[in-house]
Chains A and B, each alone.
Chain A
């Protein structure tokens, strides 16, 4: 009895570490410390399972851990901050895959005895496999290995409906028979289901999917904890499930749509795919020197950064421009849309990388009333998050999405590479607004020109 009590107490300690890790994220000051505590909890848990189980195949297991740790650490160290969302998707997918494999192996052990462990097994296999293949597709979309536009295969509704029915029927069979082979078939169907689930989701909605799949993996880990009678897996998985669910809800709110609409909108044929062709309508553009005058004699400038800024690796140049404007006594703030970037809060990370003080980053609700008093709204690499089409009740794929009110500023400067529509593939009316001036070119080159032009004023 004594040993198992100690082990369970250790698992409890690890669970507390995980809760502290999440709690520490309430402030940037404590967050890094919290993450270290979480990592300590994870190491503790792994040491405990070795002590408690004294598993056979020890050497092979240690080698697998070494390899996994090595690949994970190298990938995490090397990834560019712009590619962060696809890496998180990838890590999430392999976690889900691991959970599904654990449940499949455990199916042989559970046998046909008890019904609840079998339900937990079927659930883990189903959700874990969906998370694995769904994350793989998400990764491919974000990495631009495939188009980021919604893909709706012919007869998608029937295919999807059929796959769901098959998955449910197989789940019931797994529960009633406890047959491992049926479990494998269930896993394969679930893999297909994951693909069908993510294919119709458009690029701009992918952040929601990452968040949702994160919740899925969490729940499958929780179910496997139930299955293995391991309280730590149960607690950790549930925490992640709750985190993912809450974040998904917040993101959906930020886009003004329901989660169901985001996931299944394209399937229902409700979403109009935007044009990818350039428009021929006239716009007003100006050279960097003219924009510099506009900026240099402003009092308040609000910067609206978007993912295009990060793609051009221009965050540092943008900060340089903001610093120079600050020196001239101009107030510069950054307006951060909740879905700017490719995952929730991504833009904050990208700007933090460029040493922009996080105090200057202002969220949508707080900044929107401020645009009226701003002389210039400088839109860099953003598009959909300032598209007034979102305000119209219908007719646009982004209808109802809360946007940054950049068009309320006295003047708008739009830095764009070309007239190509943004990630959501929708034309932006703001570009044709009489108070909008376009500055064409690569964001980094344009910002560099602006910096020297403002200096020369």
Chain B
């Protein structure tokens, strides 16, 4: 299989996985869902490190480092803020509503 088709396959399967997983998310957790998903796309940091590491001119390096900075901000901030929110949804004595 050509690489393009492999990637396309991964894309389509991920889209269905994402849809199915998220359809089951409890509505009371929609804000943490959004912020958690937000943290996950912070993984663009991987791409930012790749391009900053390959930069061979000063301008490329600066742009790359800005990308690294922004992506880390997205990722770290996203996970921390989601954790802070979820901490407040502690299970209580009563039984959980279905």
Contacts and interface: CB of A to CB of B under 8 A. Distances in A.
A268 to B, nearest CB: 28
Contacts of B32: 25, 31, 35, 345, 349
A53 B47 CA distance: 11
B10 A234 contact: yes
Contact of B36 (A22, A73, A238, A242): A22
Given A61-B65, A98-B70, A214-B37, A27 B96 contact: yes
Given A49-B46, A105-B63, A226-B7, A363 B27 contact: yes
Contacts of A237: 41, 43-44
B11 A236 contact: no
Given A22-B22, A57-B53, A72-B75, A95 B44 contact: yes
Contacts of B39: 35, 38-39, 42, 91
Contacts of B73: 68-69, 71-72, 75, 91, 94
B2 to A, nearest CB: 10
A247 to B, nearest CB: 6
A420 to B, nearest CB: 26
Interface in B16-39: 16-19, 21-39
A28 to B, nearest CB: 4
A353 interface: yes
Given A88-B81, A95-B71, A95-B74, A344 B31 contact: yes
A263 B78 CA distance: 26
A38 B63 CA distance: 27
Contacts of B35: 84, 88, 91
A272 interface: no
Given A35-B82, A99-B47, A229-B7, A343 B25 contact: no
B83 A343 contact: no
Contact of A28 (B26, B37, B60, B94): B26
A210 B34 contact: yes
Nearest to B59: A105
B46 A230 contact: yes
A282 interface: no
A31 B51 contact: no
Given A72-B74, A79-B81, A246-B22, A217 B60 contact: no
A25 B77 contact: no
A345 B88 CA distance: 14
9 contacts: A38-B40, A42-B75, A49-B49, A65-B68, A101-B67, A105-B63, A231-B7, A341-B31, A359-B95
Interface of B: 3-4, 7, 10-11, 14-19, 21-55, 60-61, 63-92, 94-97
Q: Nearest 8 A-B pairs (CB), nearest first?
A: A55-B53, A68-B72, A242-B18, A345-B30, A72-B77, A238-B14, A76-B80, A95-B74
